Structure 1
Amino acid sequence: MSRYTDDLVLARQLADAADEITVARFRARDLAVRSKPDRTPVTDADTAVEDAIRARLGNARPADAVAGEERGGAARDTGRVWVLDPIDGTKNFLRGLPVWATLIALVADGEPVVGVISAPLLGRRWWAAAGAGAWLADAAGEHRLTVSGVSELADAYLSTTDLGSWVEHHSRESYLTLADACWENRAFGDFWSHCLVAEGAMDLAVEAVVNPWDVAAVRVLVTEAGGRFSDLDGNPGIGGGSALSTNGLLHEAALRLLRHGRTPTAPRAT
């Protein structure tokens, strides 16, 4: 049990509502798409999901703040804030690829304490709450998650999102140094890389650029599964602009390699 059990129940209900919207709009011929100022796409499904969740939170948790990718707000360091990414993987969503999810997190005094990640086209939902462990529901049922026990990079599986993001936001060379040190590397991308770390299927997931709504739910999932989360400087918060999830055993070794060759003035997403 967790002191946030009721909030987790609510978050899972919010994810149910989000899934109804996203599944109905997936591959819709009339899907409306526009570009945001940073040139990332947003669809009518993104805004519809965030608006629906905000409306339900307004009724269920009127005293709580809300921060979301599409409608704004900040994941502040005091009080309770629900942090939303209505569709993580919008580029996949609009291209008809099934790898996308709704991310819902509750952040209390700057610390993510509840996280739900729902990927309906993958048939998978992950959730966690502080002190209650991390869980996955899929076609095989519900499973409590535990990170892997791999202790050497030479035996590790690594995943990232996009190699091009490393050129712009961190250092392509530092990522390739880490990839070369690992046994295998993949690009499952976005939320899924981090969820696979929580499952123990991957050992490290790393992203050169993220926003708080990309990683708030991820952080509580990975840490409740026994892993470790930080930005690429080793800071454990969700506002550092980058992300590294590991099984914990590999974290420091990965940070050392990622710091090698980094461009000090690399830009971050806004």
Structure 2
Amino acid sequence: MNNVLSDLEVAHLLADAARKAILPHFRSSDLSADNKWTKGFDPVTIADRAAETAMRDLLAQHRPEDGVWGEEFGRVDGASGRLWVLDPIDGTRAFLSGTPTWGVLIALSDDTGLLLGVIDQPYTGERFIGAGGMAELVARQERRALKTRATQTLDHAILFSTYPGVGSADERAGFERVSETVMLTRFGMDCYAYALLAAGHIDLVIEAGLNAYDIQAPIAVIEAAGGIVTDWRGGPAQLGGRVLAAANPTLHKAALELLRVTPE
């Protein structure tokens, strides 16, 4: 392993490379997408593939013994027991639509759990980082620590999710019980919702059907900022599925009691 650079420095290199690969394609007139689903629409663009390729090339240079798991090119385990988990564009539908709520997700874990996470928004220049128990926003004209909100009751909470139709009928019913209780519910933010939670602007994110590469970086950032992320039964969410992210344990407990769904 090349230890000249720290893991966080490598993560910054990856995020910088992804920005460089993605931004020329954002809001370009000739941007198109392939559909990865036979039913429905799960797009992938040249920018997704270019960004993941750029990050994998850097990992091959700086962390050749580590494993890599990316959305577009799959998983390759390494000799070190460490794993970089990459989502080159989380929110490709948003990317195609020209909205700046997509982001680059980078996480690193070993057998002890998550070591770091990055949520990067190339267009706005915001980078949300969680590592070593510290969370930070690094932006073009701002650098500050991240801290989740102290909201104690659901009726004062702001809830986000990507899709109004959250999962199955049982999952939607659980989500709606929370949504009917909170002060405000908004949709469509992809990974940016998790960044807003870590930054202290919202209180809850509830989603279903996630993959590991959708959630590992947000978990690292939110937990470093003081929040909590689990599945809908209070267990680990590192592999995705149903996810509940909350600004603090009190809100998490209240939302968990309302979600109440059958096992996955």
Query: How high is the TM-score relative to the length of structure 1?
Result: 0.89
Where does residue 175 of structure 1 map in the other structure? 175
- Identical-pair percentage: 38
Cα distance in 2 for residues equivalent to 1:236 and 1:185:
24
- Decide whether the 8 Å contact of 2:21 with 2:54 is kept in 1: no
Where does residue 136 of structure 2 map in the other structure? 135
Counterpart of 1:73 in 2: which secondary structure? strand
1:110 shift after superposition? 5.9
- Decide whether the 8 Å contact of 2:237 with 2:243 is kept in 1: no
Counterpart of 2:168 in 1: which secondary structure? helix
Cα distance in 2 for residues equivalent to 1:45 and 1:203:
31
- Decide whether the 8 Å contact of 2:163 with 2:188 is kept in 1: no
Cα distance in 2 for residues equivalent to 1:158 and 1:140:
28
1:160 shift after superposition? 0.8
1:31 shift after superposition? 2.5
Correspondences of 1:205-216 after superposition (within 5 Å)? 205-216=205-216
Aligned length: 257
Counterpart of 1:112 in 2: which secondary structure? strand
Is 1:151 paired with 2:129?
no
- Output one character per residue of 1:147-172: Cα deviation in whole Å (capped at 9) or x when no partner: 111111111111111012x1437522
Where does residue 19 of structure 1 map in the other structure? 19
1:217–1:240: structure 2 CA closer, same or farther, 3 Å change rule? closer
Where does residue 104 of structure 1 map in the other structure? 106
1:123 shift after superposition? 2.8
Cα distance in 1 for residues equivalent to 2:46 and 2:187:
27
Higher deviation after alignment, 218-227 or 228-237: 228-237
- The RMSD of aligned alpha carbons is 2.1
Counterpart of 1:238 in 2: which secondary structure? coil
Where does residue 70 of structure 2 map in the other structure? 68
Cα distance in 1 for residues equivalent to 2:66 and 2:198:
28
Counterpart of 2:74 in 1: which secondary structure? coil
Cα distance in 2 for residues equivalent to 1:209 and 1:103:
17
- Output one character per residue of 1:161-200: Cα deviation in whole Å (capped at 9) or x when no partner: 1012x14375222111101111111125221111111111
1:75 shift after superposition? 8.4
Cα distance in 2 for residues equivalent to 1:208 and 1:74:
26
Gap runs ≥5 in structure 1: none
- Output one character per residue of 1:15-69: Cα deviation in whole Å (capped at 9) or x when no partner: 0110011111112233341111364110011011111111110010000000000
1:52–1:24: structure 2 CA closer, same or farther, 3 Å change rule? same
Where does residue 10 of structure 2 map in the other structure? 10
Where does residue 53 of structure 2 map in the other structure? 51
Cα distance in 1 for residues equivalent to 2:9 and 2:105:
14
Correspondences of 1:36-47 after superposition (within 5 Å)? 36-37=36-37, 39-47=41-49
Cα distance in 1 for residues equivalent to 2:181 and 2:107:
33
Counterpart of 1:250 in 2: which secondary structure? helix
- Output one character per residue of 1:88-130: Cα deviation in whole Å (capped at 9) or x when no partner: 0100111222221111110111611111111022331101113
Is 1:242 paired with 2:261?
no
- Decide whether the 8 Å contact of 1:115 with 1:128 is kept in 2: yes
Where does residue 191 of structure 1 map in the other structure? 191
Query: How high is the TM-score relative to the length of structure 2?
Result: 0.91
- Decide whether the 8 Å contact of 1:169 with 1:208 is kept in 2: no
Higher deviation after alignment, 83-92 or 102-111: 102-111
Cα distance in 1 for residues equivalent to 2:162 and 2:145:
25
Where does residue 122 of structure 2 map in the other structure? 120
Amino acid at match of 2:94: N
Amino acid at match of 1:137: V
Gap runs ≥5 in structure 2: none
